[in-house]
A and B are shown apart, each in its own frame.
Chain A
Amino acid sequence: MTAAESPRVRLGVLAIVMVGLFAALFARLWYLQVLSSESFEQAADANRIRVVQVEAPRGRILDASGRLIVDNRVSIVVTVDRVLFAQLDDTEATDMLRRLAEEASRYGSPTTVEQLLDRVNDQRYSRYAPVPVAEDVTEELKIYLEEHADLFPSVAVERVAVRRYPYGNRAAHVIGYVGEINDTELDDRQDKPKNYIRGDQIGKTGVERIFEDDLRGTPGQTVFEVDASGRPVRILEDLSKPPIPGDDVWLTIDLSIQALAEDLLAQGLDIARARRPSGNNPQNEATGGAVVVLDPRNGNVIAMASYPTYDPADFVNGISSSRWAYLTDDANHFPINNRAIQGQYAPGSTFKLITGYAALASGLREANTPFVDKGTYTIDDCSGQCTFKNAGSKAYGTVDMSRSMTVSSDAYFYSIGADFWNNRGRLGEEALQESARLFGLNQETGVPLPSEQSGRIPTPEQRRRQYDANPGLFAERNWFTGDNVNMAIGQGDVALTPLQLANAYATFGNGGTRYAPNIATKVTRGRTETSVKRTVDARINGTIDMAPEIRSPLLDGLIGVTSRAGGTAYGTFLGFPLDSYPVAGKTGTAQVNGKADTAVFAAFGPASAPEYAVSVIMEESGFGGTAAAPLARKLFDVFAGVVPPPELQPGGALVYPEAATGSPTQEQLASAGSED
């Protein structure tokens, strides 16, 4: 190696090293930018874009005539932006919250620093959506905060849409309430097109829940471009979408009849509570009840009242835990429950329609076969309790099917119950139960409301199974004649909901078509009545074969209840124009161990082509004819045009026309209903 050539060679080595380094850079650049650029592009988008979902206003709920039962209103909400709040130092943050609590309290929203801090730190809220810390604040506070914005960094005041109830708590159990979505609901609704996020409102019960998919608006989204620290830089308008309000649901409910039913029920229970029980009977506690009005021609629910009730407005912006505890407490008789579909009551004598139908349809009885009612009925060849008494041990003399229905002769129906069991070899063990099922008992009616109960119709088979499964728990394995006797008059373990009762009578009234009751007629879009998204059609759940020779005597007996001397609701319907508007009904007084009787009444009218079917059930209220039937009479007064309908005021109050006697008086409601 000479000194002269050495540097040339060495420069060459240097050149090779350098070319190698350049080649490495080019190769890497090619790999990143050409071969795998797609995945990096996605990563870059994920870096720069944040999507904030904007909840849309819910659809409205209207009654059959277009009254707004549920609407939205604007609530002024104070919010804190957590990104900005986190950038304040400790003293700044504390001072600001102290000022905010002071001003909020001064302007009518009492608040403490601790409450504010709890809300700010609540992890349920999205990081990018401001956290609400005070709701329904005054316009004055809003103005103050906006004018002193520099004193309240990270604080903003927003207007949000919340539920409004123009008629107060009318139809509360039907419409239900909305609340913040919980984890279970969030999981269940992952794949819904109207995406849910934490903090969203969702229907919890009633129509709000069942029609959630219609009522919920389509959320909009605001797409922000953010910088490295997550601060929004600007809104990407072309990627953002405005929220679309939800669809409106039109109910079958007539809110003025609903309101009348609610007031009658509350007043009726008050009267029952005030009435002294006869003899040694327990005090009437009148803890609750329900009234249902159906249209027998299509199954539409016209009114559905449940007492005690609640105010869905309590749930706006979140219900307080003390209020919630009150609504769900046994001591207050569970105001949250909708007794019309969740309460399960012994039907008492109203069940005799089903027993009577079974007897005639199976040929067990001829309608006009006379029966001598001596006030008691004794089972032949029997041990144990073999003699069953009429209510009040009254003897009705010679009766047939129609008259037994009218006067509510227990002995007549006891004998039917016993004969069914004695003829079980020919007619089957479950002849009565089969008839009950035809009328829709022991099954949900299919009304589109959540948590409907199906009632109970015990069977011999069921009793055997229960006993075999758990011998210690049940006294008897066998079904006795006495069980059938009890069931024939709607006692024993028979139970139904007020809606089932109304629907059974509607089914009989319309000639045998059993509808699944509907609560809504249609869903409309875009806040216009004409833009119909879908209509709800009448749904038939079953039909009952009802030959005239079967139907006529039963119907005649039910008409007699209100129109003939001795009818159990004859006194109640005195003065009612029964000639032009015959009402078919049946009273019931169901015994409950250790408590006052359940008062029951079911009816439909006009009897020949019914437009209304009504059921009234009142807990611990005494005789059906005395406590329950007068409520139905008041409703039929309006249906028949005897009394002009009371006027429903905004806010929910009813104003009774001058011409009428005003709101039903104590005397009127208490007017002589004969005993069951």
Chain B
Amino acid sequence: MLASVVAITLIGTVMVFSSTRGNDPDSVNTTTLQRHVVFVATGLTVMSLVAMFDYRRFRDFALIAYGGVCLLLMAVISPLGTEVNGSQAWFQLGPFQLQPSEFTKITVILVLASLGAQFAGDIDLRRLGVMLGVAALPLTFIMLQPDPGTAMVIVAIVMGILLVSGVRAKHIAALTLFGLTALVGVLNSGLLEDYQKDRLTVFLNPSAGLQAEAYNLNQSKIAIGSGGVLGKGLFEGTQTQLDIVPEQHTDFIFTAVGEELGFVGAATLLLLFGILCWRIWRIAQLSRDQLGMLLSVGVLSMIVFQLFQNAGMTMGIMPITGIPLPLVSHGGSSTIALFAGLGLVQNVHMRRFA
């Protein structure tokens, strides 16, 4: 697992550099590269710290963490937070920004896994209600930012943990139905800004729709498609080096991989993610208790959903949402939160016999 994590992170670092080095041949811009390296280093430290203490003791802190995150989420939608790209999701801390919703993901995993382990596979409607209620509170705050992307990731985490923790099949089916209805409801209500709706639906019909959104998607597909089998070579991608794809070092990093490294590179990256996911799944299977298994499943759901959502959106099969590609995209909070999640999984793995 660690090997695949390192490989993915390395690819990510190189691609972040490639998409932010600028197109002036005389002075290569390394500012973003430096920040990215700092984030990764911090992430690795956090991962080690999280892995060090027995995960079973985290259960005791779950509620405290949950309360803290909820407070932070409330604070960020107050005037204390900063608005970027239409979402009020950040705290400005000096040169860095803190995005509490990223940490919410980990906290939700922690709380739901604890509850699931406590209910020990016997979940009736009342217990299901408790679990959903626990997830619903931070979800509401995130929708108020609004940040539908992160909200979708949390929904995916909840669904993954509920599935494995023993919720009855008919309840899952009912929930899914309810979820879809709610999605349609949200789209048609005034809850989302117009631009968010456009981002969510433009992938269905890229030639119509809003200029900027269609532009994003088209340029992203052109970048990936023009890479071909072998790619244009590192630092040689025209779409990447000429800044034609917007937000390329964060949400659209996969286009840089696709353009410069081609099908071979992009498929390798997906394969590495496959190995990572298989390892996490295996750790869940081997876990000595329900808590370890549910923690791993939560992290797994998060990674798989983000990967599918992010890579899918750059290729036009998923709506455009502001979700980073795990371990690859440039972004402090998400990188650190992800490494924290991986620390949890590693923690479970290390204590599978004791």
Contacts and interface: CB of A to CB of B under 8 A. Distances in A.
A40 interface: yes
A387 interface: no
Interface string A472-491: 00000000000000000000
Interface in B270-314: 270, 273-274, 277, 281, 284-285, 290, 293, 297, 300-301, 304, 307-308, 311-312
Interface residues of B, number: 50
B209 interface: no
Main secondary structure of the interface of B (DSSP, over half): helix
Interface stretch (B4-12, B93-101, B159-167, B333-341): B159-167
Contact of A33 (B228, B297, B304, B317): B228
B267 A47 contact: no
Size category of the binding interface on chain A = 35 or more
B312 A47 contact: no
Contact of B224 (A14, A22, A40, A48): A40
A392 interface: no
B164 A226 contact: no
A33 B285 contact: no
A44 B220 CA distance: 10
Given A22-B270, A39-B225, A227-B244, A10 B166 contact: yes
A7 B317 contact: no
Interface string B204-235: 00000000000000010111111111000000
A33 B227 contact: yes
Nearest to A45: B238
B321 interface: no
A3 interface: yes
Contacts of A3: 120-122, 166
Interface in A1-48: 3, 6-8, 10-11, 13-15, 18, 21-22, 24-26, 28-30, 32-34, 36-37, 39-41, 43-45, 47-48
B225 A28 contact: no
A7 B122 contact: no
Contacts of B304: 18, 21
A41 B226 contact: yes
A41 B221 CA distance: 11
B164 A43 contact: no
Interface in B227-282: 227-229, 238-239, 242-244, 246, 258-259, 262-263, 266-267, 270, 273-274, 277, 281
A41 B222 CA distance: 7
Contacts of A15: 281
A225 interface: yes
Given A26-B267, A34-B228, A44 B163 contact: no
A18 B242 contact: no
A18 B281 contact: yes
B23 interface: yes
Nearest to B215: A228
B312 A8 contact: no
A13 B164 CA distance: 9
A233 interface: yes
B229 A33 contact: yes
Contacts of A13: 163
B164 A11 contact: yes
A223 B266 CA distance: 31
B244 A47 contact: yes
Given A30-B263, A40-B225, A14 B163 contact: yes
Given A10-B163, A10-B166, A227-B244, A24 B226 contact: no
Interface centre among A24, A25, A39 (most CB of B within 10 A): A25
A455 to B, nearest CB: 62
13 contacts: A14-B297, A15-B281, A21-B304, A22-B273, A25-B312, A25-B315, A29-B315, A33-B224, A41-B225, A43-B222, A44-B223, A48-B238, A225-B242
Interface of B: 23, 120-122, 160, 163-164, 166, 219, 221-229, 238-239, 242-244, 246, 258-259, 262-263, 266-267, 270, 273-274, 277, 281, 284-285, 290, 293, 297, 300-301, 304, 307-308, 311-312, 315-317
Given A10-B166, A25-B312, A40-B224, 12 more contacts: A6-B166, A14-B160, A14-B301, A18-B300, A28-B312, A28-B316, A28-B317, A29-B224, A29-B258, A29-B311, A29-B315, A32-B258
